[in-house]
A and B are shown apart, each in its own frame.
Chain A
Amino acid sequence: MIPLRARSVIFNEAAVAAGPRIIRLSTNTERPSPLRSNEAFFARFRDPWPDGFSWYVALAGDSAIEMPPEIPGAALPAEFAYLGDGDVISLEPSAGIVRVLFRKSSSYNHFLLTERCNNSCLMCSQPPRAVQDGWIVDEILEALPLIDRSAAEIGFTGGEPTLLGDRFIELVRATESYLPNTALHILSNGRSFAKDGFAALLAAVRHHDLMIGIPLYSDLPHEHDYVVQADGAFDETIRGILNLKQHHVRVELRVVLQRPTTKRLPDLARFIARNLLFVDHVALMALEITGFAKANLDRLWIDPMEYGRELQSAVGVLSRAGIRTSIYNSQLCVLPKDLHHFARRSISDWKQQYLPVCDQCSARERCAGFFETSGTKISQGIAPIIAEAA
């Protein structure tokens, strides 16, 4: 588990006076002077502080490190030792808060754009809140120019990012401007794109590497609407997908594998192959037990061993149709062998773990492992894969 935020940061007086700050970390004592005035020096070791930085950040408990008192400084809890050069953090001195916005060394960097949503999925890992959180957009716009331009990919999530309307488009445009080599993966229910013109606006940004990930849970409209708890969502989502593809925006379909919908998984695959053949990717995702999923566990949880046949059938239909298909969040030991090459290490590092039993598993390094939130809902079939004797 990698903590991305904390409320127990110790700030000096200069920091409190300076106020909140979004800043990039540097660990380079040879950092050119013109760059130092806009960056924070991050020290994990007992070295003298280099001059010229606008903030100093250390790990608490390292009492030998004396921060220059006249420069804003923060002492982070010890578990933030993972931070490094190029990372971007947000500091709120009056509340003692640090939030990690971007980690240069990680491939899992997502920005939550808003907690508002017009669906209310049974298994939502980020339950919607009707709040005025427009400040988040401002924060991201401030952070984007600080992000390392060699980043391979960043993600936008929510809530429902497109509820931000014009500001959503503004964010996509800013990403294209400041990160011209970085792929952008946006999670959305797609419904806003059913509106005339919105897909065109997004396409007009001409982002060089954009993909919209859109959940679709069933070939039957009422089943999809039930899962997302919104009447008419299926129709709007489909129309949104059609509009996006008409404007040449890449679309990925995401299907969470859960009890209400696993039975018709092959039918959904057939429906996709027949009606949405042009989608760029289909991700079949094992359940993450957090948020609403915890409250609805009884109606959602199904042991992956029980849907192996449906999964094989669905993947067969999709791959024969030439649609790029992946299986996310699934442990290799409970996946049929012929599906292993579709499985991806998809769980973000900051919420991923293995079990003790995995120590003996020969496939551990290739396996997605488990969500930290799996709790007691683990498949009965978890067992180490013993490599065959050479």
Chain B
Amino acid sequence: MSRFREPEYYDASAEALYTMLPWRFARLRDDTYVLTNMVGEYLTLPRSELESFATGALPAGHPAYNELKSRHFLFDDDTNVAIDLLALKTRTKLAPLANFTGLHIFVATLRCEHSCPYCQVSRANDDRTEFDMSEATARMALDLVFKSPSPAIKIEFQGGEPLLNLPLLRFVVSEAKKRNDAEGRDLAFVIATNLAMLTEEHLEFAREHDILISTSLDGPADLHNRNRPRPGQDSHQRAIDGIKRARAALGFHRVGALMTTTSASLTRVKDIIDEYVRMDFGGIFLRPLSPYGFAIKTKFYQSYDQRRWLEFYFEGLDYIIELNRRGLDFIEHYAAMVLKKMLTPLQTSYVDLMTPAGIGIGALVYNYDGTVYASDESRMLAEMGDQTFALGNVHKNSYEEIILSDKLLDPIEQSFAASSPGCAWCAFEPYCGSDPVFHHATQGDFLGKKPLSAFCTRNMAVFRGLIERMEADEEVCAIFERWANLI
């Protein structure tokens, strides 16, 4: 008699009923459904198999059974470690919340020599300093920054055009570093600049303090200049020159670019991507249309815009996938952040894809006048006359008053996805976020009616689109896995 037992001896699944672990589903296309668990692991099944699984009738010998078992959708008498692993994975997804605010945006000045129609915040370019952040304000803001428990602190200078207030930048960097001597945080600085007036002095300053540069590049020259007018209509050329000079002075990887999507962009996605490829960027962030600044539109306009944007997005994504297939390593960053949530046990820190909402928890904005906003979009809303997300002022309010104010906690609580209608049963909730600022701006409440929400429509389409592409092609899975782990 053989002393070695056969596989069946160890396989108790045939006798016992299986136990389902928490899971949700959504229709993907036709008869194919996607199932997700609490931490975003997914698989696709035809409707009949889904029903079979849901009613406890899926046979142990069925090919789907082992896939469900491996991904922690079910367990049986063979094992009881699934709950420990799911708890660990849940904790991993939630753990970054405890670090609290990592991104601190300082609005150094509202002055700017560009006049981009989509910008909400800039004022005329003149030498008056009433729209500059003062050292006194910066000092109080830094007090609040270091109250955050986050081990990593990123201070990002925005504006207007922050380089127009170099003395303030110098002050903040120097003060922050001084305080960090005692704090020992991982401290980083970014300047969001149009680079149009970049001087050697600016570069020297950035080089000395390891500051990262983030600039705007909306696409090829005609599109970029149309989006971003300035005296001389040469924004694109100046941006390109600035990128080259900044790379040379600071290091290739210390310079990044972001695009803003306007209706003019919607037919030019390949041109925009080509511009980023030409400029040797490792990827592009195909950003959603922003509702701020354009007056809140009717539902019709929003849905029309969303459809066009989704066409724009998937045309761009498919083009980028093709570039990758042909050997170019190039990332689409919005997909990468979603894919990080889909394909890895880790979490993203992108404010718009966080739930509980990323306002305050992910980022805080300190305006030139000391007003503290819950996010960049909160500030844009304020510039349109809506102060709902103004949390206080560095000169008047303590950290506790700001962070614990109802102005912050109410929207976070009310928009929390796990307890929101629509989101609470949505299969894609593990990939999504809460955006109370967007819903307040477009629907008038923090929660929003999700089926009428452009945020929801857009994200669901993106999630479906990514899953469909992975289901269709293993090579795309490998490309997406690489993106998910790189960012």
Interface on A for B, CB 8 Å cutoff? Answer: 120, 122, 219-223, 225-226, 229, 231, 234-235, 238-239, 242, 260, 267, 270-271, 273-275, 277, 292, 295-296, 316-317, 320-322
Contact = CB atoms under 8 A, between A and B. Distances in A.
A8 to B, nearest CB: 33
Interface stretch (B7-15, B309-317, B348-356, B357-365): B7-15
Contacts of B80: 235
Nearest to B72: A275
Interface string B318-353: 000000000000000000000000001110000000
A89 to B, nearest CB: 36
Interface string B449-482: 0000000000000000000000000000010011
A271 B72 CA distance: 10
B85 A222 contact: no
B7 A223 contact: yes
B78 to A, nearest CB: 5
Contacts of A219: 70
B13 A222 contact: yes
Contacts of A316: 478, 481
Given A221-B79, A234-B79, A274-B41, A226 B485 contact: no
A222 B12 contact: yes
A52 to B, nearest CB: 54
Contact of B70 (A267, A273, A320): A267
A226 B10 contact: yes
Interface centre among A267, A317, A321 (most CB of B within 10 A): A321
A275 B66 CA distance: 16
Interface centre among A120, A226, A295, A316 (most CB of B within 10 A): A226
9 contacts: A120-B4, A219-B70, A221-B69, A222-B10, A238-B81, A242-B88, A270-B70, A275-B89, A277-B345
Interface centre among B13, B66, B80 (most CB of A within 10 A): B66
Given A220-B70, A221-B78, A242-B84, A274 B7 contact: no
Given A226-B5, A274-B89, A321-B344, A220 B66 contact: yes
Contacts of B13: 222
A229 B81 CA distance: 18
A184 B314 CA distance: 51
Contact of A321 (B81, B89, B481): B481
A321 B485 contact: yes
Interface of B: 4-7, 9-13, 41, 66, 69-71, 78-81, 84-85, 88-89, 344-346, 478, 481-482, 485
B485 A320 contact: yes
Nearest to B474: A313
A129 to B, nearest CB: 13
* Leading 9 A-B pairs by shortest Cβ distance: A221-B79, A225-B10, A222-B11, A235-B81, A219-B70, A226-B7, A226-B10, A221-B78, A222-B78
Nearest to B12: A222
A323 to B, nearest CB: 10
Contacts of B346: 277
Interface centre among B69, B81, B89, B481 (most CB of A within 10 A): B81
A274 B70 CA distance: 11
A234 B4 contact: no
Contacts, number: 74
A295 B4 CA distance: 10
Contact of B85 (A220, A275, A296): A275
Given A260-B7, A274-B41, A296-B4, A317 B81 contact: no
A273 B344 contact: yes
A295 B482 CA distance: 42
A271 B89 CA distance: 12
Contact of A229 (B5, B12, B41, B344): B5
B40 to A, nearest CB: 10
Given A222-B12, A321-B481, 9 more contacts: A120-B4, A220-B70, A221-B79, A223-B10, A231-B10, A270-B70, A274-B89, A277-B344, A296-B4
Nearest to B482: A320
A219 B85 CA distance: 12
A22 B384 CA distance: 85
B89 A235 contact: no
B486 to A, nearest CB: 9
A53 B132 CA distance: 85
Interface centre among B10, B13, B88 (most CB of A within 10 A): B10
Contacts of A277: 344-346
Contacts of A220: 66, 69-70
A43 B4 CA distance: 49
Nearest to A274: B345
A4 to B, nearest CB: 28
A251 to B, nearest CB: 14
A190 to B, nearest CB: 12
Interface centre among A220, A222, A271, A321 (most CB of B within 10 A): A222
A92 to B, nearest CB: 32
Contacts of A238: 81, 84-85
Contacts of B88: 242, 275
Contacts of A235: 79-81
A318 to B, nearest CB: 10
A271 B84 CA distance: 14
Interface centre among B4, B70, B88, B346 (most CB of A within 10 A): B70
Nearest to B483: A320
A238 to B, nearest CB: 5
A292 B69 CA distance: 30
Contacts of B79: 221-222, 234-235
A153 B69 CA distance: 39
Given A235-B79, A275-B345, A222 B7 contact: yes
B58 to A, nearest CB: 15
B344 A274 contact: yes
B3 to A, nearest CB: 8
Contacts of A222: 7, 10-13, 78-79
A102 B81 CA distance: 40
A290 B13 CA distance: 32
Contacts of A221: 69, 78-79, 81
Contacts of A292: 4
B344 A225 contact: no
A316 B88 CA distance: 24
A239 B84 contact: yes
A221 B78 CA distance: 6
Contacts of B10: 222-223, 225-226, 231
A221 B69 CA distance: 9
A322 B70 CA distance: 21
A75 B482 CA distance: 60
B345 A225 contact: no
Nearest to B40: A274
Interface centre among A221, A238, A260 (most CB of B within 10 A): A221
Contacts of A296: 4
Nearest to A267: B70
A270 B478 CA distance: 12
Interface centre among A220, A267, A296, A317 (most CB of B within 10 A): A220
Contacts of B89: 274-275
A225 B85 contact: no
